[in-house]
Amino acid sequence: MCASCCPRFSPVAMCARASKKIQAWQLRSCSAWTLLSKDQGSEVAGSFVLSSSEYLRFCRAFYRVELYFCLFRCRNSLGSVPFHEHRFFSNLPPWEKEQLASVQDFLELKLSQSSHDVLAHDVEFGELEIDYITTGDNNHFRQLWLSQGVDFIHRLMSESSYNSKKALLKSAFVAGKVDLYEALISPPETDLNDDVPLSDYADEDLAALFPPTESQDKDSDKGPFEAWRVAFNPLPRSAWVMLTNNYGLRERAYVFWDLDRIETYDMMKLFENTPEDSELQRAYDDMDEMRESFEERSKIWQKGGSGYWSKNDASRIVWPTWQDGN
């Protein structure tokens, strides 16, 4: 195994490593709590402290996502990989996969925010038609940059210079890529022909489907399971993870909270009224504007221009200097 690519950390050690850089798990939990506070005002407003179980869930989810990126984006340098990336999470119950989906959404949002200025304005990136709006596995470049992991996204967030951000984004063009989004939405083959809705499964049926794992032995709280069951109750097994219309729930980290917290703040009612879309999806309103910018920036690039483009403003475009006699 490529040690520099895939260091072996425990979930808590990995979380501590990440927290020293961007406190990723803390950002995730705080942003989710802020949204829940806005949903119901003073009932959930104010500061909060994660329980030990909630802390472990956030740490573990970021650890698993980072491990996945490290392992599979390096698979060409690892020689033989003992299992396919789509089966890496096959032993996890769907509510824990939803935790990973929540992390994926969060990292994608941070990537989108920190790269937007460059991707929406740089002439070269406009010529390349790099999509800065589309979410999920239909956006090749975004999945490429996500594949570089938490540290890469942190560096992008930390860069204040436009040129430094662009250089960092371009540095990944030759890097390995793996699609976490696709891996999470790909159901096991055994689920494809099962059209029985979750609501028809008794507790003992679900216990048989998803026998306790080592992680569940350490985290027996029913909060994540109950929140997941409410969200997917009318759906069959093939759709039990990462639904598009559950973006709003994942944005609120709905499968991370303890049952006690869920009951105390009546979160199930909050979840019922959660918007289906997310901050990421609202950017789809600007799709036509993005396509127009591709055309304008491509025209400039074809004429030899580069640099920063804005609509109706070419003051920051850099043109080649032609010396006399050339």
What are the DSSP calls for 114-166, one per residue? HHHHHHHHBHHHHHTT--SS--GGG-HHHHHHHHT-HHHHHHHHH---HHHHH
Residue 183: predicted pLDDT? 86
Residue 114 has pLDDT above 80, yes or no: yes
Cα distance between residue 159 and residue 29, in whole Å: 23
**CA angle, residues 222, 228, 231, in degrees to nearest 5:** 140
The SS3 of residue 7 is coil
Residue 74: predicted pLDDT? 72
Residue 110: predicted pLDDT? 93
Task: Give the Cβ contact number of residue 324 at 10 Å.
Answer: 4
The residue among 91 and 205 whose pLDDT is bigger is 205
Residue 83 has pLDDT above 80, yes or no: no
Residue 9: predicted pLDDT? 42
Residue 99: predicted pLDDT? 96
Task: Give the Cβ contact number of residue 291 at 10 Å.
Answer: 12
Residue 258: predicted pLDDT? 96
The residue among 86 and 165 whose pLDDT is bigger is 165
The residue among 223 and 33 whose pLDDT is bigger is 223
Cα distance between residue 258 and residue 324, in whole Å: 72
State the greatest distance between any 2 C-alpha atoms of the chain, in Å, as a whole number.
Answer: 84
Residue 118: predicted pLDDT? 97
Q: What is the rounded average pLDDT of the residues 239-250?
A: 90
Q: Which residues lie closer than 8 Å to 288 by C-beta, 6 or more apart?
A: none
Q: Is 162 exposed, middle or buried (0-12, 13-18, 19+ CB in 10 A)?
A: middle
Cα distance between residue 105 and residue 13, in whole Å: 23
**CA–CA distances in Å: residue 72 to residues 13, 18, 77, 125, 276:** 21, 19, 10, 27, 31
Lowest-confidence pick of 4-13, 193-202, 258-267: 4-13
The SS3 of residue 112 is helix
Residue 84 has pLDDT above 80, yes or no: no
Residue 317 has pLDDT above 90, yes or no: yes
Give percent of the chain above pLDDT 90.
Answer: 54
- pLDDT tens sequence across 184-204: 887 666 666 778 999 999 999
Band the pLDDT of 282: cuts 50, 70, 90. Answer: confident
Residue 71 has pLDDT above 60, yes or no: yes
Cα distance between residue 168 and residue 149, in whole Å: 13
Cα distance between residue 52 and residue 60, in whole Å: 12
Q: What is the rounded average pLDDT of the residues 285-299?
A: 93
Question: What is the β-pairing status of strands 306-307 and 317-318?
Answer: antiparallel
Q: What is the rounded average pLDDT of the residues 26-30?
A: 81
Residue 217: predicted pLDDT? 62
Residue 32 has pLDDT above 70, yes or no: yes
pTM: 0.86
